[in-house]
Structure 1
Amino acid sequence: MRWVKVTSKRPIAENRYRVTGLIEGNEYEFHVMQTHIVRAGASIRLFIAFSGRPVPTAVWSKADANLSLRADIQTTDSFSTLTVEECNRNDAGKYVFTVENNSGSKSITFTVKVLDTPGPPGPITFKDVTRGSITLMWDAPVLDGGSRIHHYVVEKREASRRSWQVVSSKCTRQIFKVTDLAEGVPYYYRVSAENEYGVGEPCELTEPIVATEEPAPPKRLDIVDTTKSSVVLAWLKPDHDGGSRVTGYLLEMKQKGSDKWIPAGQTKQLTFTVEGLVENTEYEFRVKARNDAGYSEPREAFSSVIIKEPQIEPTADLSEISRQLITCKAGSAFTIDIPISGRPAPKVTWKLEEMRLKETERVTIKTTKDRTTLTVKDSMRGDSGKYYLTLENTAGVKTFTVTVVVIGRPGPVTGPIEISSVSAESCMLTWKEPEDDGGSDITNYIVEKRESGTTAWQLVNSSVKRTQIKVTRLTKYQEYSFRVSSENRFGVSKPLESKTIVAEHPFDTPAAPSAPRVVDTTMHSISLAWSKPTYDGGADILGYVLEMKEEGTEQWYRPHTTPTLRNAEFTVTGLKTAQKYQFRVAATNVNGMSEFSESSAEIEPVERIEKPELELADDLRKTVTVRAGGSLRLMVSVSGRPAPVITWSKQGIDLVSRGIIDTTDSYTLLIVDKVNRYDAGKYVIEAENQSGKKSATISVKVYGKYYYSYTWLLDYSQCMLLRSKKFSHFQRKFVVLNSMKLFEKSKK
């Protein structure tokens, strides 16, 4: 939104205004800005109240001014004031007050107008300098002092004097021609603006000007460049031309220490190259401007110069090549054009990776002192890579890199194509990504198949995303070959062809497992286990077949009811005591059953005898602590063949009646509820079978206060006394205490 001022330049005194020139049907917004008008020397006081929650921060600001140095600002939680004492024209302008908190910000602008004399006019320029006159020009003051500029006061002063002479006190324009100037005398000039409050500050020329018909001397003679036999000079036009057009410039020079200036050349341009100079010799130079009246005073260079070839390290500007990357489509041309610099002119060398480039029918290299250009026509994928530009001169060596990517169709996939999981209906094809992706991501692969005896290729899948595919719907016993092509957004690669395969099941039967080994025996069972075959025939092992025979017979039979056993272990039950048995096992896969393993040794089912063992947990090996009134739980692992008899004991306590004992073939558990101090001590557990005995001791500690549950036997009359409301508290207490004494006697 752009705000447009609708009032006149001067503020309006009334509190209403009629806006004209509006367009019917359009919506408008209006706002009114108050202008504070203050006389110079008075005080500016701005006050504003504000609110907000939380209390906002308040800031005063003024463009191009530091208010902290000029103004006194006082701010509270509800209002703020700004005061400027003894104001002047520089205090005029827009003061912005801004408040801000977490909810947002708000600003208001105060326009202050200070009534004062105007500021200095803009910079003074001049033209049309002649033998006795000069024309001055200037800009209006930035600060008009709050009042319209009536006129300007133009003054002059001879450079040798201090007093100023008024040339014009009523100049109404911003241009004035000063006449009657003494020829050859340098003058200073100044201009002041005047309004209704008086004459303001003047703007003065910093250097005197001579009114002459010859031009002013050229400005700023610079040494631009040198070689071992030349120098390049440049300068600016003179401030004035003396009243006639500058027609040329005269260059002069002399050796350092000499008083004789000699001509070095003439030109109409603002630059000139002086040649034929002696290397390592120091020279001084000057230039004069020429018009119809003659030559100006000379302008000398700021310093002398020694003629020699500068030593500047070579460099190249790669800013015109975005990210130092050039992309080109295969078959088209690409150009690497790089500005170079260095003194002396550097030697240029181009390389592609490690190969130095030379000009051929496809490759062109052009080099000047400030540019080198490499062009490659009919680009190929092999032209991709890093191009190294090496610049070398006596000041140093620099190398710069530009990457070129030539994009096109990808290369063939990386082979060979591996064919696995061949069956009568399908097979699995696997390959690797192409070594050359054509400079663009591979989007998909195309897989085709061909039956032997035909030349036509049939499409299997044209949108394969991975480097593997399962080919289905093959004809049993038919020979097939396959081919795979890679594709990117620029085209399809050449195909890679596979070897020929026959669609049939390729599996063998597995090798035989290891001979069954005994894991455990009882009076009527034998537990067996065996190892998997070392070769599975190319397919998963589906199960095992176990056979057994009795001693003295040749008849093998299966002890399991299922066709095969899933795991490599089995327990044969229902065996006869004092009878020996042999076992053998075979593995199966989809192609059939393997040969049987070697037979096991003759095994007799007998009950194994093992000494009893007790295994205490780590917390039972230390003293077991339990709070009085809580529960004590002691669990111990038990082993032994046959299962041992378990006995728990503690001195002075019958654990069978005091606690609960639960015993199985693998553990025994003792539980004692509501323990008291008499339950502390050492608990002994014993395990015994026909092979031996084993015992262990567990220490128990009971802590905390001990509570006893006593039963007081009161007669009927005493109970009625306790329940009666006729008796006092002390009478009831007597009955209870008497009963307790009787209880203590009964314990003794």
Structure 2
Amino acid sequence: MIENVNRNDTGKYVLIAENCSGSKSAFINVKVLDSPSVPTNLEVKDVKRDSVSISWEAPLIDGGAKISHYIIEKREEARKAFTSVSSSCVRNSYKIDNLQEGFFYYFRVLAVNEFGAGLPAETTEAVKVSEAPLPPGKIAISDVTCNSVRLSWEKPDHDGGSKITCYIVEMQAKGDDTWTICSESKALQVTINGLAKGKEYFFRVSALNEKGKSEPKCLLAPVTVKDTSAEPIINLLSNTFSVKAGNDLRIDVPFKGEPKPTVAWKKDGNILKETSRINVHTSDTSSHILIKDTTKIDVGVYELTLSNSAGSTSTEIFVNVFERPGPPSGLSVDEMSADFVCLSWQPPLYTGGTQINNYVVKKRDMGNTIWQTVSATVARTSIKISRLTQGTEYQFCVAAENRYGKSQFAETEPVVAQYPFKPPGLPINLHVVQASKSVMVIAWDKPDSDGGNLLRIDAAISGRPNPTVFWLKNGRNIGTKGRIEITATKTKTSLLIREGVRKDSGQYTLTLQNTGGTTSKVITCKVLDKPGPPAGPLEVSGLSAEKCTLSWGPPHETGGAEIIHYIVEKCETSRVAWTLMYGDMMATTCKITKLLKGNEYLFRVRAVNKYGEGETLESEPTRAMDPFTIPSAPMDVEVTSTTSEAMTICWKRPTSDGGSRISGYIIEKREKQGVRWVRVNKKPVYDLRVKASGLHEGCEYEFRVFAENTAGLSEPSLPSLLTLADDPKFLPSPPAKPIIVDSSRTSITLSWNKPLFDGGALVSILGLSWSSSNLPVKILVYISFK
């Protein structure tokens, strides 16, 4: 009899009966129903960077039932508990994925039948999740001599999960089939010596870690072992050098090349000549120029050329010398009138190596030797100078200015301030048509010259064959209808415009064309008249319920005279009449006030010159409204301290100010039994706290807060909690001077003084404690006072 059987008692039992006549045997197969035993031959088959494949064989004892499946578990080396990977594997192998690269793991397998899971089979050693590394990266030849080659390469994209211990370098002579290990290196480069001069070699590099060697990375082309030459290389970080005039300039240019290259310097295409100021020095690795006491003649393009047997290279270097600029060029008088002149010019040919900041313009009348400054901050290359005296002869000059100083002045020829037209001529052929005793009728003819009302442009022309005449205005053909008449002969052409108006101003171009070529002449014409409308649009900005700002541009057509001022008007769209706001506005922007909130307005502007008021520029309808709203309500209103007569209230800012800065806060209070809210502060407060005084002792109060901005008061905040107006209470100080007045065997009479501080309330209970020398326990008694 076998007691407490287990799965190990399963097997074949043999019974042998034996006596003097012989023996007899019989066998019995015993199957104990239990969970399976340990799976056998658990092996790690394959290890990758993030997975491990394992295999095993079925348990020797299946527990008397068919193995239904297997449970696979894993455990990191640093942990004690196994975690399940799969609980339904029906094969004798499994690939465990999603492992951490470089970590160590234990694995185990349990067989399962209908009676449960059996004993586990576990790997005896931890398995590191890694693999052989990838091949190294790009291989490069960094140096070749007659007996050595220096190789360099990049790290593999992945080390397989284990640290790369070294790199194995192999070589193969061209025509040979055998690869030979020539070096092992922990660095990413190696120099291979002892090679045969003139022979060609192939090289390859493999990475090695604890899992093995990677695939080799081969150099694609063979390397010939010989002394090499390298084309010159210029290592110049910047090709622009700047220096202040009078200082020394040193230009250093490092280079490489094998053999040493020859050096040639040029300036502006010419060979650079060495002088006492300019010196050139060249070493094996660099060349530099030293220029002493630099001036503007040193400005230019310097060219360095390097040459050797491998080739040549060159680079350009730009040198700037900072100093005062040269004078402006092409200064001319573009337009002259009785009270103004228009000048224009071109920037200096030499700017001093830096940007021109502004121009200085001066004038003087020919009867005075002192120059007067018209403007020292002219940013453009033109200016209009006003307030000249008619008939006076003037001279003008312009200088350019940069950060290093002011140039010499360029001057104009003397010019006289006068209109470009003249008074009309005398009427002609004055005669008496009829005469009587009391009446005489006279008649006359128009003068030969109207002084400018009739625009006439005459030009003498010539050419063979006779040229074709074209007249253009502002780049467009001129028609010959109405007021315009064009005539042309072989030697003369004329453009006649009767009753000139402002729109006749502009540039007129006379073009002559024949088979020999084309020529043109530009004539500028200005018609004196009232100005055109200001340049639009008329913009309305800074709009609020009470005011706005208008802005516009000067008229494109000034009528040939200076704009004296502008007239600004407004009109409500619900009305017809216009209201004058400004009758002499000098600027092109103005502020309009006293608007009515919610009303819609139109605005208009017109320019005025000495010939009268021009055409108007009108705005789009605009409604006077504030661009902001009331703020949101303050938050978290609470009472932070109380007395019998006052309380301190605090709150937080609103989440939104409505687009306008909060100007203050209004606080209101209400008693518990009251209905009306009463203001605490007469004027808005700016802090986030206020003290409410004048309260009644014993009453309960609640408070609420409003925020105020330009648009008005916000909604009220949520009220604070009801708070009692009462002085705060504190613990009293101890009684003073306790003494024993009388004593007996069973009693003691004590006396003491009142506490110096009662804590803000009447002392109603007194605690009395004592202890006996025989009893370590202290006895405490409270005495009440009524």
Which has the larger share of helix? 1
TM-score by length of 2: 0.30
- Work out which structure has the larger RCO, using CA pairs closer than 8 Å and 6 or more positions apart in sequence: 1
Larger Rg over CA atoms: 1
